[in-house]
Amino acid sequence: MQVIASLEELTKARQNWPRAGSLGFVPTMGYLHRGHLSLAQQARTENATVVASIFVNPTQFGPNEDLARYPRDLPRDLALLEGAGVDVVFTPEASAMYPPGFATYVEPTGTLAERLEAATRPGHFRGVATVVSKLFLLVGPDRAYFGQKDAQQVAIIRRMIADLNLPVDLRVMPIVREADGLAMSSRNAYLNPEQRVAATILSRALEAGRVAFDQQRNAGSTSPEAIAQVRKAMERALASESLAALDYADVCHPDTFVPLDAPTAPALLAIAAKVGPARLIDNYLLRADGSWDVGVRVGK
């Protein structure tokens, strides 16, 4: 496995990658867990060459967010990526990605870039869209692998690929969960043991939302009141955990993030809450065919 830190070295290395076969790319911010590795493993099965990146992107963090304390462990990450069969890891410095004078951003707009994560984290998706564009241009992938864990990010990248005619096939992998349902996240490292137990309330609230959604759907409800019931089911569940503070519980279209006015497929149940020092997000996806993607639980 080749580890490349400089942009020049990456450009040079690209000339030596196999011309035949596709290139799969897995962008990450490091401190890897089995969610990240599921993307790398899928990329390995579908491509001749697999490139991963580890870059804690400063432009997607707000001034009061956790950029400075975001967890890092490069030696461990590199060993995990090597184990997953990754060929090249790109680990650029922030000063190389954003040199003095940097002034050009990719700005998502519209409902997708205004609601939920965007509302709580102004500028976040501008940072994401900008860095993903830059990484796509630097790496030149045929396929890029993202996690459903970050549902709004997936929708933003899908929109960006279409809007900017980027020749990249977006591959989205299910949420990988701990055995007790907690969605894996690098930020789970912020939780103490008591908060770690409390954090399962996000997936439990989504489960309550799913049950309410299916009840309304099976009853043939078509009114906005049915959606309000689903939201309330999630809010009630979240409120039962005193260590968690709800940011939002939402029912929206998974591509546009427009709020739904009836319990129909496709749909996204999205939730965000603070548990101690960690702001956590999670979601359940109701696919267009009416089946749920609730992610996969893995054992210890």
Kindly report the backbone phi and psi dihedral angles of residue 178, in degrees, each rounded to the nearest multiple of 5, phi listed first.
-65, 170
97 binding ligand AMP? (CB under 6 A):
no
Q: What's the min distance (Å) between Cβ of 196 and ligand AMP? A: 15
Q: Measured from the CB atom, is 36 or 143 closer to ligand AMP?
A: 36
Residue 166 CB, nearest approach to ligand AMP (Å): 16
By beta-carbon proximity to ligand AMP, the closer residue of 55 and 213 is 55
Catalytic residues, by residue number, are 36
Segment contacting ligand AMP by CB under 6 A, of 33-41, 96-104, 213-221, 248-256: 33-41
Of 183 and 246, the one with the shorter C-beta distance to ligand AMP is 183
Number of residues near ligand AMP (by CB under 6 A): 17
β-bridge mates for residue 28, sequence order: 54
Q: Judged by CB under 6 A, does residue 126 bind ligand AMP?
A: no
* Cβ proximity to ligand AMP, 176 vs 286, nearer residue: 176
Contacts of 291 (CB under 8 A, 6+ apart): none
Please pick, from the candidates 87, 117, 150, 250, the single residue that binds ligand AMP as defined by CB under 6 A: 150
By CB under 6 A, name the one of 61, 125, 146, 257 that touches ligand AMP. 146
Binding residue for ligand AMP, selected from 4, 10, 23, 39, defined by CB under 6 A: 39
Contact 270, 151 (CB under 8 A): yes
Query: Toward ligand AMP, which CB reaches closer, 212 or 273?
Result: 273
* Footprint of ligand AMP on 40-79 (CB under 6 A): none
Window 168 to 197, contacts with ligand AMP (CB under 6 A): 173, 175-176, 183-186
Please tell me whether residue 152 binds ligand AMP under the rule CB under 6 A.
no
Does residue number 36 form part of the binding site for ligand AMP (CB under 6 A)? yes
Task: Label each residue of the chain as H, E or C.
Answer: CEEECCHHHHHHHHCCCCCCCCEEEEEECCCCCHHHHHHHHHHHHHCCEEEEEECCCHHHCCCCCCCCCCCCCHHHHHHHHHHCCCCEEECCCHHHHCCCCCCCCCCCCCHHHCCCHHHHCCCHHHHHHHHHHHHHHHHCCCEEEEECCCHHHHHHHHHHHHHCCCCCEEEEECCEECCCCCECCHHHHHCCHHHHHHCCHHHHHHHHHHHHHHHHHHCCCCCHHHHHHHHHHHHHHHHCCCCEEEEEEEEECCCCCCECCCCCCCEEEEEEEEECCEEEEEEEEECCCCCEECCEECCC
Q: Find tokens 């991963």 and name the residue.
A: 52
147 near ligand AMP, rule: CB under 6 A: yes
Question: Of the two residues 12 and 72, which places its CB atom closer to ligand AMP in the complex?
Answer: 72
Binding region for ligand AMP (CB under 6 A): 28-29, 35-36, 38-39, 146-147, 149-150, 173, 175-176, 183-186
